[in-house]
């Protein structure tokens, strides 16, 4: 079975959406450029880390969308998988 990758697009204000960036130290960063986004390796990891991050930053879970990609689709957007 082909490995799937998951990017998270989150609405952080009424005027701004960002791509989440999982970091090696476990923290989460943000970017407004899809090419700078980094994929999560599972849907559950994306969901759990996104919700925990939002709860700690905003004290509620804001709107977000988890989008599944194949390796080829990430390559099309020039997004590294490692």
- pLDDT tens digits for 26-82? 899 999 999 999 999 999 999 999 999 999 888 888 899 999 999 999 999 888 887
Nearest C-alpha neighbor of 58 from the set 26, 17, 16, 13: 13
Give the domain range for residue 24: 5-81
**pLDDT for 1:** 79
**pLDDT for 40:** 95
The structural domain count of the chain equals: 1
Q: Quick one: tokens of 18?
A: 């960002």
Nearest C-alpha neighbor of 66 from the set 40, 30, 31, 27: 40
């Amino acid at each position: 079975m082909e490995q799937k990758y998951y990017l998270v697009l989150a609405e952080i204000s009424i005027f701004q959406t960002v791509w989440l960036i999982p970091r090696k130290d476990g923290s989460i960063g943000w970017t407004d450029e899809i090419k700078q986004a980094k994929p999560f390796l599972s849907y559950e990891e994306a969901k759990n880390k996104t919700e925990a991050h939002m709860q700690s930053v905003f004290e509620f879970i804001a709107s977000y969308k988890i989008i599944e990609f194949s390796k080829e689709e990430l390559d099309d957007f020039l997004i590294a998988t490692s």
